[in-house]
């Protein structure tokens, strides 16, 4: 028990150290393709691992890995980049503050916390004298939230294992992930009731702030609709959430467009297409769920409203079905990002092993599930998502006041240690 407490305490400190670095993607610098914050996070993580006695590799500040053991390769895929902080935090977004049994900060749950926990699990196993019969590669990318260029680079300069898991999802175990399709939609908009419009920060983050400048509006009507007035500008505030679960957020762009749609037919049509499923896309469904569409970024310029949408389509469907609907409606689009779905059967060896570990460590039954989120697991021939989100617990991923509870740090240290041991012995 005393030994476990040492690992737990060191783990908490290392999570705090990583969280204090803002590693949201920033403009590239020489030798830092995703900005200084991402490079600093990777450097610190690999330095912590090296001081534990592990072999480490930094692949040009795109991505890095920690190696333990020899033999057939096994991957643990995690990431150190984060989405922007957003607004409304009551604890510092990059403070690593501990309060009420929770460690707060962007990345505590997604995905710096789980990455650090898995590293400390490897250290525990190493100190116990465990000799894995596989070469464990704890791979940590710096561009998961903004395009996966890190994975593309890794595939060029290193060798990706065929099997593994990603601690960047939900328990008990993720057997399938929907396809991810991000599109930039172009809507002609003449005589707009505003001179400029800007909304959202990331394509995979529900828009929590939207602003229309040089707007034409009735003050009383705008206030009645809950909008903020700033001179000749109208602002809408919402609540951020992960784009894979848009229902958990409150889209500020929806509020702003809904207001202008009351008196502008073109905007009413755009609002209907984006927020009222006028294309009938949610009819696409399978055992991984229904299609979701989240309009997360928008700009207005040159008589054109440009909206970036994040679409999660069911695993057994094709992205071409989605694109066909937009083409049929005459909507001009560009594909900005696409990831094919992940699909495993519930009784596959990897999924079955992870389920068994979860049930043994928690005492709870664990039916494999499917999600709309996209994890690095789909970068593997045979991959699965495995935690850190426990069933029934609130998720703060991509939201204000993101946190990981200290109780869950303890639980995750035990679960991931058991999983690594089970899958590599």
C-beta separation of 182 from 203 below 8 A: yes
Residue 263, token pair as written in the block: 């008196």
Residue 362, token pair as written in the block: 């928690």
For the beta carbon of residue 357, count every other beta carbon within 10 angstroms: 24
CA distance linking residue 417 with residue 82, whole number of Å = 25
C-beta separation of 241 from 296 below 8 A: no
CA distance linking residue 384 with residue 393, whole number of Å = 20
Helix (H) or strand (E) holding 187: strand 179-188
CA distance linking residue 410 with residue 203, whole number of Å = 33
The string of DSSP letters for 92-144 reads -TTT--EETTEEESTTTTTTHHHHHHHHHHHHHHHHTT---SEEEEEEEES-G
Q: Is residue 81 flagged as an active site residue?
A: yes
CA distance linking residue 191 with residue 60, whole number of Å = 48
Catalytic one of 22, 65, 144, 170: 144
For the beta carbon of residue 337, count every other beta carbon within 10 angstroms: 17
Task: Give which of 151, 161, 124, 76 is closest to 354, Cα–Cα.
Answer: 76
Q: Is residue 170 flagged as an active site residue?
A: no
- Residues 181-196 as b or e (16 or more Cβ within 10 Å = b): bbbbbebebeebbbee
CA distance linking residue 12 with residue 135, whole number of Å = 26
CA distance linking residue 170 with residue 302, whole number of Å = 43
Q: Three-state DSSP class for 376?
A: helix
Catalytic one of 81, 111, 208, 402: 81
Q: Which are the catalytic amino acids?
A: 81, 144
């Amino acid at each position: 028990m005393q030994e476990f407490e040492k690992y737990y305490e060191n783990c908490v400190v290392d999570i705090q150290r990583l969280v204090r670095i803002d590693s949201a993607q920033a403009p590239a610098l020489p030798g830092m393709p995703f900005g200084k914050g991402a490079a600093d996070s990777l450097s610190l993580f690999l330095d912590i691992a090296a001081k534990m006695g592990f072999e480490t590799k930094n692949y040009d500040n795109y991505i890095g890995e920690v190696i333990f053991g020899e033999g057939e390769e096994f991957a643990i895929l995690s990431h150190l980049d984060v989405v922007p902080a957003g607004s409304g935090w009551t604890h510092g977004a990059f403070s690593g503050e501990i309060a009420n049994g929770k460690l707060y900060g962007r990345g505590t749950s997604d995905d710096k916390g789980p990455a650090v926990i898995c590293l400390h699990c490897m250290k525990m196993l190493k100190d116990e004298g465990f000799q894995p019969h596989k070469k464990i590669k704890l791979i940590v990318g710096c561009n998961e939230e903004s395009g996966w260029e890190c994975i593309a680079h890794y595939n060029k300069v290193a060798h990706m294992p065929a099997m593994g898991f990603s601690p960047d999802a939900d328990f008990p175990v993720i057997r399938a992930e929907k396809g991810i399709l991000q599109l930039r939609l172009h809507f002609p908009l003449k005589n707009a009731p505003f001179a400029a419009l800007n909304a959202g920060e990331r394509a995979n983050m529900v828009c929590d702030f939207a602003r229309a400048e040089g707007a034409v509006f009735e003050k009383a009507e705008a206030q009645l609709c809950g909008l903020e007035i700033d001179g000749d500008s109208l602002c809408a505030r919402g609540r951020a959430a992960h784009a894979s679960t848009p229902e958990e957020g409150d889209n500020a762009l929806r509020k702003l467009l809904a207001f202008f749609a009351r008196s502008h037919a073109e905007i009413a049509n755009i609002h209907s297409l984006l927020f009222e499923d006028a294309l009938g896309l949610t009819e696409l469904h399978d055992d991984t769920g229904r299609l979701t569409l989240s309009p997360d970024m928008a700009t207005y310029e040159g008589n054109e409203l440009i909206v970036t949408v994040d679409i999660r389509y069911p695993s057994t469907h094709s992205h071409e079905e989605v694109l066909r609907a937009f083409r049929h409606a005459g909507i001009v689009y560009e594909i900005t990002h696409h990831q094919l779905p992940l699909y495993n059967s519930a009784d596959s060896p990897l999924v079955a092993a992870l389920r068994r570990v979860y049930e043994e460590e928690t005492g709870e039954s664990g039916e494999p599930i499917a999600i709309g989120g996209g994890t690095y697991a789909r970068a593997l021939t045979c991959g699965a998502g495995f935690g850190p989100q426990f069933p029934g617990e609130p998720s703060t991923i991509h939201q204000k006041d993101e946190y990981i509870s200290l109780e869950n740090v303890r639980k995750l240290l035990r679960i991931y240690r058991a999983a690594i041991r089970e899958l590599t012995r």
